[in-house]
Structure 1
Amino acid sequence: MPDDVAAARAAAEEESAFSHPPVDPDAIASYGGHPDQVIDFYAPRGEAGPGGPAPLVVLLHGGAWRAPYDRRHVTPFAGFLARRGFAVANVEYRRGAEIAGVTGVTGVTGAAGAAGGVEGARVTQGTGGPAGSGGAGDAGGGPVAGRWPETFDDVAAALDALPALVREALPQADPRRIVLTGHSAGGHLALWAAARHCLPADAPWRTDRPAPLRGVVALAPIADFTVADKLDVCGGAARQLLGGAEEFAERRPYADPALLLPTGIATTLVQGRTDDVVPQAVAESYADAAAKAGEVVGLTLLEDVGHFPLIDPAADACAVVVEEIAQLAW
């Protein structure tokens, strides 16, 4: 496919994904004192399977771990899941450096979110998208990716607090049927959160046993930091997340899902073959690492699909994602 045609299609996919109005949650709960330490809860609105409490999908948004890109941009996807009978927990976490507003990021729309500040920003076409490799997402001059160790502190704390918060905020959810999912950088965090029992013994986030999950569905995840770094995914975001070049090798064993295998938890990766934001090679490398560790990881490759249709309720790829989640949840 000619480069100009591919670029036009990728732009159209991104525009479609961010054309949907934000979907407000049914409840919001805090798992810490920082404004970003919150979880949005969506009650099930449809029939996804047998009666009774609904499976819970825990959603971690992408955005290259950078501060301007918050959970608001995946609320249409959260609403889509809820309409198909799932209970949904949309997790926010600290990202990038502390910034005032979203200065330097163009194309930001949407009302202020529940937590204020950056919360509620929805990044539209023109910024490179939440996980884009261009615009404000670039390493040069744009927001820095992630906060070490706060990004990891928050995801661990959110997952630990989730059972109690769900009982109060979302009684329709079945805490025995949890599927963890995430897109792009959120896919990385989903894989990492499911592998906390595989972390080095001195890791503050390590757990004694695997999380009680039905499985993980990681969408175009930044799943292998070595490959992502070689490909300069999202402007060097993986290296930035860990603190820079000097810290990259030292901290990778604590953060890179490809080094935290086998997990013993059912895992599926969903990846578009024409994804030029997080290329197919990243997911394939993780699947290869899992196989070498003696674990089978599902890898669903979607033809003629880029990065953003996986979270776009208007795209056929999004329906495939829901089916992958349903296979684990039910």
Structure 2
Amino acid sequence: MPTREIHRYGPHRDQWGELFLPDDAGPRAPVRGTVVVIHGGYWRDRWTAELGVPTALDLAAHGWAVWNLEYRRAGNDGAGTNGPGGEGRTGDGGWPATFRDVAMGIDHLANLGTPTGGAVDPRRVVALGHSAGGHLAVWAAGRASQAARTGGETPAVPLVGVVSQAGVLDLSAAHRLRLSDDAAANLMGGPESALPEEYALADPMGRLPTGLPVFAVHSREDAAVPFELSEAYVRAARKAGDPAELHETVGDHFAPITPGREAYETCRELLARLLP
């Protein structure tokens, strides 16, 4: 069985990750790289990193180190009462806290190389995100390119690629469609009309090009996140010059995070392309 250990990357109760390492990982049994698993749940705090455990166990059994990341989420109430400042929203996450946590959590891997005997290599890290976690994973893919364009701080752990599992890759469209009781407005603290600059910063569509391979896995049968969101992102990314790919699969919204399902196996095969 893989070894499992909790590490905190900040003082908040939700600023932690669980590191899964393959059996005997170390200099004599090097891992294939590190996969950051970012769970979904439409950014609401009723859903936790527990969603990522089956994936983490499976990937560790296949030779990867896995960082199952928790982060602050917005509350579970609807977005209708939220104003531009987030009035009425419960939970400690949302814009910008959720995004800061994802960045901090990924960068914390730079501190885990020595404690793991080199099993975690911050030069070989990819993100795997489901649903809202797919949005956050692809958003994180743009951190390095965004820093280069704006003169901001370079990530301590830049990703080398992302696999999105039915990701909410077009935040503006998710808001227009009012997906999951307008979860996008709940995340952002208000409508896009009141917060256009914030939405632009939070939307993966607004961070192109990233310069990284982003593989979007999605099914037209998905009733929670429309296939068209992944389709639109990949089309825009390729137009911007990124090596993005759309992989149409089958099954419901949870098929990509269910080991043994075709959609999940596709995701694992794509990870093997990024971290052979």
Relative to the length of structure 2, the TM-score reads 0.86
SS where residue 29 of structure 1 aligns?
Answer: strand
Deviation at 1:292, TM superposition (A): 2.5
Q: How does 1:113-128 map to 2 (within 5 A)?
A: none
Identify the residue that residue 200 of structure 2 maps to in structure 1. Answer: 253
Q: How does 1:315-326 map to 2 (within 5 A)?
A: 315-326=261-272
> In structure 1, what residue type is equivalent to 2:170?
D
Say whether residues 1:192 and 2:139 are aligned partners: yes
Identify the residue that residue 4 of structure 1 maps to in structure 2. Answer: none
> Equivalent of 1:236, from 182, 203, 214?
182
Within 2, Cα distance between the matches of 1:283 and 1:168?
37
Answer whether contact 1:24 1:75 (CA < 8 A) is retained: no
Answer whether contact 1:192 1:257 (CA < 8 A) is retained: yes
Say whether residues 1:68 and 2:15 are aligned partners: no
> Equivalent of 1:288, from 218, 235, 240?
235
Which sits farther off after the overlay, 210-219 or 61-70?
210-219
Within 2, Cα distance between the matches of 1:174 and 1:185?
26
The percentage of counterpart residues that share the same residue type is 38
Answer whether contact 1:227 1:285 (CA < 8 A) is retained: no
Within 2, Cα distance between the matches of 1:148 and 1:202?
22
Within 2, Cα distance between the matches of 1:214 and 1:174?
12
Identify the residue that residue 18 of structure 2 maps to in structure 1. Answer: 40
How many correspondences in the alignment? 266
> Equivalent of 2:259, from 298, 313, 318?
313
Deviation at 1:52, TM superposition (A): 2.7
Deviation at 1:272, TM superposition (A): 1.4
Within 1, Cα distance between the matches of 2:77 and 2:37?
21
Within 2, Cα distance between the matches of 1:170 and 1:282?
40
Within 1, Cα distance between the matches of 2:233 and 2:177?
14
SS where residue 197 of structure 2 aligns?
Answer: helix
Deviation at 1:173, TM superposition (A): 3.0
Deviation at 1:237, TM superposition (A): 1.1
Deviation at 1:167, TM superposition (A): 3.2
> Equivalent of 2:114, from 158, 161, 167?
167
Say whether residues 1:78 and 2:56 are aligned partners: yes
Relative to the length of structure 1, the TM-score reads 0.72
Identify the residue that residue 58 of structure 1 maps to in structure 2. Answer: 36
Structure 1: runs of 5 or more not aligned:
1-22, 98-135
Structure 2: runs of 5 or more not aligned:
82-87
Answer whether contact 2:15 2:72 (CA < 8 A) is retained: yes
Within 2, Cα distance between the matches of 1:64 and 1:43?
28
The RMSD of aligned alpha carbons is: 3.0
SS where residue 275 of structure 1 aligns?
Answer: coil
Deviation at 1:24, TM superposition (A): 9.2
> In structure 1, what residue type is equivalent to 2:258?
D
Within 1, Cα distance between the matches of 2:266 and 2:24?
17
